[in-house]
Structure 1
C-alpha cells in the first residue's frame, strides 16, 4: 500500500485515503494538498482523477514535463542519397542518421545520477535546491545522503545532504554561492536521531558548541541519514579530521609550554619551590 503522496512525497494521512478519491490511474495516491493544487488548475480532475496518471498530473502542476530528458522531439534529417525524409527520435533510444558525438554529462547530471543511486524519494518541490547543488558542491564531492525537511534553527524548508566531507542544508530561499548551514564532518562530535508518528528528527553537535536540529519529512529519514554519515564522521582516516586533530595537538602543546614558562618564572621569584615546580612540570608534560 502507498504510504506517501505520489507527487510531493510527504506521508499520507487517513484524511487523504479514507474516501479513496485521491487515487490515480497508475496506482499513485495524492495528498489533499496536492489534489487541491491540481484541481485548482484543471477542474476536470475533480470528477475524473482516476483516469489521470502521475505524469499527467505533474504536467498540470508544473506546466511542463518532469522528465525533460525523456521528451520525444522530432528532428527531420534528409539523406542526400535517398529522396525521402528520415525522422530521428531523441529519446532514451535513438535512430541516428550518420555519426553524432555523445553529449558530455554536466555536473548536475552527475549529481542527479548520484541521487538516483541512493534510492531516496525526493519530491518535485525540491527541484530548485537539487539544481543548486551543481553550484554548491565541489567537483570531487560525492553525495552519500539526501533528504527533505525543515532546519529548526531558522524554521526554513529545504534539503539536507551529506557528501564524504560535510553535511549541508539548503533552504528554499537559497540562490547564492554562500553556504551558511555547512557542517564539516571533522567538526561534528555527535549525531542523534529520533522517530515521530510521520516524521523524524536529526540533531548534529559540533566542537564549536553548535546544535543543529532538523525535522525530516519521512519517519525513517533521520535513521537512514544517520547510518549514511556516521562512518565518515567518526573515521580516523578522514584527512580533514586528521588535520583538525593535529591542529588541536599543536595548540595544546603550545599552551603547555606557556604554562611551563610561567612556572619557571614563579620558581625564580621564590613563589614555587623546586619540588613544587618539578611536580607541576611533570603534570604538564604528561599531557603531551
Structure 2
C-alpha cells in the first residue's frame, strides 16, 4: 500500500482503499479543494462525467475530484442538499446515485464494498439532518389560519427556486393543510 503523507485523515482514508492505482494524483491534491476544518472520512475510486477520480466523504460534504494533466473536475454535494442516495452493486463494481434538488448524479465504477459503505454512511447523514429539521413531536398549538396562506406561498417559492424537490413540496403542503 502506498503512503502519501498528505494529512492524517486523508492518509487513513487512503489506507482503506483496496488499490490507489489511478487515484494517487487526486489523493495528493485533495487538500487543495477541502474547506477549512473539513476532514476526510472515507475515499473510493469512481467515474463521474467521463472522468475517473476519487469520491471523498468528508465531515461536510460528498466530493468528486478528478485531477488530470490538463484539467481538474470538482463536484461537491453538501449533505444538507442531498435528498436521497441509491446504491446499485454488481459483482465487483457499482453505481452510487446521489439525488439533490431534483437532480441525479451517477458515480459509476465504484468498488462494491466501498460504494455500499459510502451509501450507508450517506443515508445516516441524511437521516440525522432530517431529524434535526423535523418539528418537535410534542403537540403544539396549530398555526393561525391567516398564516397558512403565507406558509404555502413560501413553500411554493422554495419549490420554484429549486431549493426543494416536488416530493418535498407535496409532503410539506399536505402537512400545512393538515394543520388547519
Same topology, TM > 0.5: yes
Counterparts of residues 214-253 of structure 1 (less than 5 Å): 214-236=107-129, 242=133
Q: Partner residue of 1:55?
A: none
- Give the Cα–Cα distance (whole angstroms) in 2 for the partners of residues 130 and 255 of structure 1: 50
Shift of 1:125: 2.2
Which residue of the other structure, out of 87, 92, 96, is the alignment partner of 1:198? 92
Shift of 1:177: 8.8
Shift of 1:68: 7.9
Counterparts of residues 1-288 of structure 1 (less than 5 Å): 108-116=6-14, 119-151=16-48, 154-173=49-68, 179=74, 181-206=75-100, 208-236=101-129, 242=133, 256-257=149-150, 286=179
Larger radius of gyration: 1
Q: TM-score, normalised by structure 1?
A: 0.43
- Give the Cα–Cα distance (whole angstroms) in 1 for the partners of residues 152 and 85 of structure 2: 35
- CA RMSD between the two structures: 3.6
- Give the Cα–Cα distance (whole angstroms) in 1 for the partners of residues 103 and 116 of structure 2: 21
- Give the Cα–Cα distance (whole angstroms) in 2 for the partners of residues 195 and 204 of structure 1: 14
Shift of 1:141: 1.2
Check conservation: 2:61, 2:77, Cα contact below 8 A. Answer: yes
- Give the Cα–Cα distance (whole angstroms) in 2 for the partners of residues 230 and 131 of structure 1: 28
SS of residue paired to 2:38: coil
- Give the Cα–Cα distance (whole angstroms) in 2 for the partners of residues 213 and 194 of structure 1: 10
* More RCO (CA 8 Å, sep 6+): 2
Check conservation: 2:45, 2:110, Cα contact below 8 A. Answer: yes
SS of residue paired to 2:24: helix
- Give the Cα–Cα distance (whole angstroms) in 2 for the partners of residues 201 and 147 of structure 1: 12
- Seen in structure 2, the aligned counterparts of structure 1 residues 142 and 176 have a Cα distance that, compared at 3 Å, is farther
Shift of 1:121: 2.4
Q: TM-score, normalised by structure 2?
A: 0.65
Q: Partner residue of 2:156?
A: none
User: Which ranges in structure 1 are unaligned for 5 or more consecutive residues?
Assistant: 1-5, 7-65, 70-107, 246-252, 261-282
Shift of 1:130: 0.8
Shift of 1:171: 1.4
Shift of 1:227: 1.9
SS of residue paired to 2:123: helix
